[in-house]
Amino acid sequence: MKLPSWNKRLLSSTRGRIIVLLRGSSQTVNELAEALDVTDNAVRAHLATLERDGLVQQSGTKAGTRKPHHEYELTAEAEQLFPKSLGLIFNHFLTVLGEQLSAQDADEIFAEVARRLASETAEKVKTRSLEERAQAVVEFVSSLGGLAMVKKYPDHLLIHGASCPFADIACEHQKVCQMVAKLISEIAQAPVVERCDRGEKVQCNFEIMMK
């Protein structure tokens, strides 16, 4: 899978090379400076920026000649910088699924997956207001790596996704958007209409109808 151009630029920079080194194992400032052939102070400056951005954190200490040295490691957020193969695998899986099953059987499978994904959240918010349940949808999308917001209109609430966690597969498989609509409906406990834009930049839009 190809890296986005900005990701390539980052990972080819000194700061990016630090990220790559830390992905292999925890490192001290001295170890990073030696591997990169730069000064300790330069490494410290880059680490400070990476810590500020939530990509690096201190993980412990290692014994030194005169005093212990702090070790650094990547945070879970930093792993998102690296390409994953799950999207590619899932894409092929859905293609095979569509070839092997009838449209009705495939729809039933997607609906069941949506119900299972939504079940825990739906149970927690079932007694809350519709707007609170819609906000729970936004939080759930965030937990999947997406970014969404709720917009209120006279007859519906709109879940607008600024960043879709399924963007790499939704363009080829509309059933994924239908699955998300079912998931939202389960959590919101209301009818949902899917109005996603699967163009060059995927835009997620799901209308939660007010009863």
Q: What is the pLDDT of residues 87-138, one digit of tens each?
A: 778 888 888 988 999 989 999 999 999 999 999 999 999 999 999 999 999 9
Give pTM, 2 decimals.
0.61
CATH code, domain carrying 34: 1.10.10.10
Q: How confident is the model at residue 189 (pLDDT cuts 50, 70, 90)?
A: very high
168 and 70, same structural domain?
A: no
Beta strands, E only, 14-79: 27-28, 56-62, 69-74
112 and 42, same structural domain?
A: no
121 and 55, same structural domain?
A: no
Model confidence pLDDT, tens digit, residues 169-178:
777 788 888 9
Tell me the residue range of the domain where 146 lies: 86-209
The whole-number average pLDDT for the span 169-191 is 89
Among 37, 58, 81, the domain-final residue is: 81
179 and 99, same structural domain?
A: yes
93 and 62, same structural domain?
A: no
181 and 121, same structural domain?
A: yes
60 and 95, same structural domain?
A: no
94 and 46, same structural domain?
A: no
Distant-in-sequence, close-in-space partners of 182: CB < 8 Å, separation ≥ 6: 110, 111, 114, 115, 118, 192
Percentage with pLDDT > 70 across the chain: 88
Q: What is the pLDDT of residue 94?
A: 87
Please count the residues of the chain: 211
The span from the CA of 136 to the CA of 40, in Å, is 45
93 and 38, same structural domain?
A: no
Indicate if the pLDDT at residue 75 is higher than 90: no
Among 81, 111, 146, the domain-final residue is: 81
130 and 74, same structural domain?
A: no
The span from the CA of 72 to the CA of 56, in Å, is 7
Indicate if the pLDDT at residue 7 is higher than 60: no
The structural domain count of the chain equals 2
The whole-number average pLDDT for the span 54-70 is 86
Q: What is the pLDDT of residue 86?
A: 64
Q: What is the pLDDT of residue 164?
A: 76
Indicate if the pLDDT at residue 192 is higher than 90: yes
Q: How confident is the model at residue 187 (pLDDT cuts 50, 70, 90)?
A: very high
Q: Is 66 exposed, middle or buried (0-12, 13-18, 19+ CB in 10 A)?
A: exposed
202 and 164, same structural domain?
A: yes
Q: What is the pLDDT of residue 121?
A: 96
112 and 49, same structural domain?
A: no
CATH code, domain carrying 99: 3.30.1380
Pick from 125-134, 155-164, 198-207: least confident:
198-207
